[in-house]
Structure formats: C-alpha cells, structure tokens
A and B are shown apart, each in its own frame.
Chain A
Amino acid sequence: MSISVKLDRVLLDRGMSLTELSERVGVTIANLSILKTGKAKAIRFSTLEAICKELDCQPGDILFFDDDGAPSPD
C-alpha cells in the first residue's frame, strides 16, 4: 500500500509508549500494533482524532503517501 504509518516515530518524539497511547485513546494495543506495523486497511476518523489529540500532532505527521508504483494488495 502506498500509505505508510509513522506512528512509532511520533511516539518516540513524544516519549510515549504504545501501551500508554492505547490507554489514553481507548484503542487496544493489538489494534494499535496493526496500525503501527502498517497492516491496517483503514483508520476511523474517530481513532485518528483521538491519536492526534493525545500526541498533539496532525494526521499528516502520522500518515504518509509514497507512490512507489507498487500495486495495492486489493
């Protein structure tokens, strides 16, 4: 997929662990791991809003578009 997630980088900048973020946004660690490892197929606006609120960042700080020409798995 051309969309990559850089959640780990933002977490590192904020000095926050995935467990802490999970508790703050109310999303399970398993789901956050799916997002962090780039396995997620979609992200809800509500989840993105909660993450951005807790990490004090913009969606663009977490999500990146990289058109490497690779076809989407779907």
Chain B
Amino acid sequence: MKAIGKGSLASILAMGLHFTRVIMWIAFVGVSIALIILPFFSTLASLFGESLDVSKEDFFNVALTFTTIAVMLFVVNRLLEILKTLRFGSPFVKENADRFRGLGYALLIGEGAKVAFGLLSLIFDVDVAGNSSFIAWIAIIAVFVLAEVFREGARMKEEQDLTV
C-alpha cells in the first residue's frame, strides 16, 4: 500500500478521521449544552409541569463524557494535522513532535479525568461509568516515546537537508 497519495493508508485514515471529527463535533455540542442546562434541568422541567431530578451521578457522567469527547476531538484534530504533513511528504518536522507530545498530554488528561471522576464517585458514593485501564497508560507512554522519536527524526531530517 502506498504511503501517500490517493488510495494510500494515510488518505483512508484521513477520510475516516474527518468523518469522526464531524460526529465528535456534534457530540461535543450536544454534551456541552447538556452540561450547561443540567444544573437548571429540574427548574426547567418544573416549568413544564414535570418533576425530574438530576442526581450527582448524572452530572458526573455528563461531565466525564464532556471531558472524554473534548480529548477525543483534540486527538482527532492533531492526527489530521499530522496526516496532512505526511500527505505533503514531510512528516519529520519539529511541529509533529510537538503535536505528538500534545496528544500525549491530552490522553493523560483524559485518563486522569477518569481517575479523578472515579475518586469522586467513591467520595459521593455514586456510580460513574469511567474505568481507567492499564493499557491506556501504556499507550500514553508510547505516544510520548513516539514524540521524542519524531523530534530526533526531525533533527536528522534537518541535518540531512542541510548536508551538501
């Protein structure tokens, strides 16, 4: 399979990520609205004659979903930027090393949020659907390693470009 150009893995991945980004944006807007109106949901429901209570559990779950989607959106955007440089034939640039590092921090925040919400669920004795997995932490380390590999790759590429 070709590395760049039409029909390449990069172009297929980019297409998939563009589609995912649209879905993510819709989900992000939806969850953001939910997060904003959730504290006032009981009041709003009573205006329509309904009696609906929003529990801490609901709020924690929506907040965790918001964090997860925000992280995923950030990751998808960075991956698209990296794939763009690959399509232009110059992936080994310092900017991509920074992007990979950014990805690492974003994933770290995402997993950290799961742990934080897990602790909150214990404190407030509620059930929050967020389990941090060991493999996710290994993946985060892998992304940071990849970032450093890219940094060195970018340095070597620059040196090669400036070798006469």
Contacts and interface: CB of A to CB of B under 8 A. Distances in A.
Interface in B117-164: 158-159, 162-164
Contacts of B162: 34, 39-42
A1 to B, nearest CB: 11
Nearest to B163: A42
Interface in A34-67: 34-35, 39-44, 47
Nearest to A48: B164
Contacts of B163: 40-44
A31 interface: yes
A41 B162 CA distance: 5
A32 B164 CA distance: 7
Interface of A: 27, 31-32, 34-35, 39-44, 47
Given A42-B163, A43-B164, A44-B164, 20 more contacts: A27-B164, A31-B164, A32-B164, A34-B162, A34-B164, A35-B164, A39-B162, A40-B162, A40-B163, A40-B164, A41-B158, A41-B159, A41-B162, A41-B163, A42-B159, A42-B162, A42-B164, A43-B163, A44-B163, A47-B164
